[in-house]
Structure 1
Amino acid sequence: MIEGPYFVLVVLGAVWCGVSSGVFIAFSTFVMRGLGALPAAQGITAMNAINVAALTPPFMVVFLGAAVLCAVIAVVTFVLWPDAGTIELLLGCALYLAGSFGVTVLANVPRNAALAGLSGAEESEGSTAQWRTYLVEWVRWNHVRAATGAAASLLFVLALT
């Protein structure tokens, strides 16, 4: 049974992963759709502004906080190796670290960096095509981040029950 400070740690992990997943779900379901409805030049400018604004403490606390909690939970789980919930905890940690954090680093951030190189000041066929490709690819990877964050949160809850 998971109890004491370990219980609190797992509850925090479930909440943090769930909140992070919620942010990703919001982006996939309406923010990116709204940006996609804009002319390419405006969408590029808006997304570049969002990408800069995302690098502020409130979002970073949620996103990196969940990754840190998952790393700590994984280490504590290996050290304590509880009678129940071990598989769920380790799988949840792996899902968040690989599927949310890893996908961000390997898929979404490089796309954001490439988009930052596009000027939203003028619309051309090339920038429009790049914007449309960016939207499809970025949202696809964002779905992965949302799903793995939600699955990690669910697995933490299952480990506690």
Structure 2
Amino acid sequence: MLSLAKSLAISSLVFAGAIFGFFYAWVCSTMWGLDTLDPRTAIAAMNAMNGSVRNAVFAPAFFGTPVVLAIAAIALKLANERGASIWFATAAAVSLLFGTLLTMAVNVPMNEALALVDIPDDRVAAQVIWEGYSPKWQFWNQARTVASGVALLLACIGLTKISKTA
């Protein structure tokens, strides 16, 4: 049972790392790049990216990370690795609450609202729209990025708490 639990723990690190990296890329490159563009182009590009992210490659990392972390926590508990289990359970909770649910409650509705906007021909009007969207979206993206990094860190600590035997 411990070998299975270790395998699940390692798999959950891959999931947690994937979603952390995804959010982090938006922080340190994507949004900064969009902010340098003509706001009409930035709005169109953001809408295109938001539409393209709904795919079978992204979904497992986004929806699956808290699940895989929780499954690892359960498997570790069943393998009598209570200390490690607590770290993975905490990582699962952080990932779910401040990664998945935060995204669904804040970033997704903002994205859906932006998608409904008719991109104005006037650059100044588009700038007003973009400036009303980008800073707030980036703030919440940074929050979910930090939370995803914390979840990854918690799982890494949990991995160090697993017994060496198996």
| Conserved 8 A contact 1:73-1:93 | no
TM-score when normalising by structure 1: 0.88
TM-score when normalising by structure 2: 0.86
Pick which of 106-115 and 122-131 moved more. 122-131
**Residue correspondences, number:** 160
- Displacement of 1:136 in angstroms is 0.6
Pick which of 57-66 and 103-112 moved more. 57-66
Contiguous gaps of at least 5 residues in structure 1: none
CA distance in 2: counterparts of 1:146 and 1:134, whole angstroms: 18
Q: Secondary structure at the match of 2:57?
A: helix
- Displacement of 1:84 in angstroms is 2.0
- Displacement of 1:126 in angstroms is 4.4
Contiguous gaps of at least 5 residues in structure 2: 161-166
Q: How does 1:54-93 map to 2 (within 5 A)?
A: 54-76=53-75, 82-93=81-92
Code of the residue aligned with 2:99 in structure 1: it is S
Residue matched to 1:150: 149
| Conserved 8 A contact 1:77-1:90 | no
| Conserved 8 A contact 2:5-2:79 | no
Moved beyond 6 Å, runs of 4+? none
Code of the residue aligned with 1:24 in structure 2: it is F
- Displacement of 1:71 in angstroms is 3.8
| Conserved 8 A contact 2:4-2:75 | no
CA distance in 1: counterparts of 2:93 and 2:140, whole angstroms: 17
Q: Which has the higher contact order (CA 8 A, sep 6+)?
A: 1
CA distance in 2: counterparts of 1:74 and 1:126, whole angstroms: 50
Q: Secondary structure at the match of 1:146?
A: helix
RMSD of equivalent CA atoms:
2.0
